[in-house]
Amino acid sequence: ANGYYYSRWAKCIWSSHDLSDMVFIDNYIFNKDVYIQFNSTVGEYVGYTAHGVYNAQLWNNNTGQMQGERAEVESFCKHNAEIDQSTITDKS
């Protein structure tokens, strides 16, 4: 395809059943390169390009946006992980 490629990938990473080590990562991708990322372990956006650094500074100063991203570990990750784990244990 000729043109530009933009995507946003959010993922949850964990390795234990108690979900205490869960990490939420929200990637913003342009032309297959991550240009800005939120990592719940870091607790803020990190920019990887000039445009990403600029947006990270703006977004990190937006308290509403930051509260929303930080809440994703509980509302998105842990909620879905509990469903996935119960589905797996019910089948064994």
The pTM assigned to this predicted structure is 0.81
Number of neighbours of residue 26 by Cβ within 10 angstroms: 17
| CA dist., res. 34 & res. 71, Å (int) | 22
pLDDT tens digits, one per residue of 26-60: 999 999 999 999 999 999 999 999 999 999 999 99
pLDDT given for residue 2 in this prediction: 72
Can you name the CATH fold of 6-89? 3.10.320
pLDDT given for residue 57 in this prediction: 97
H or E segment and range at residue 16: none
pLDDT tens digits, one per residue of 71-85: 999 888 888 887 776
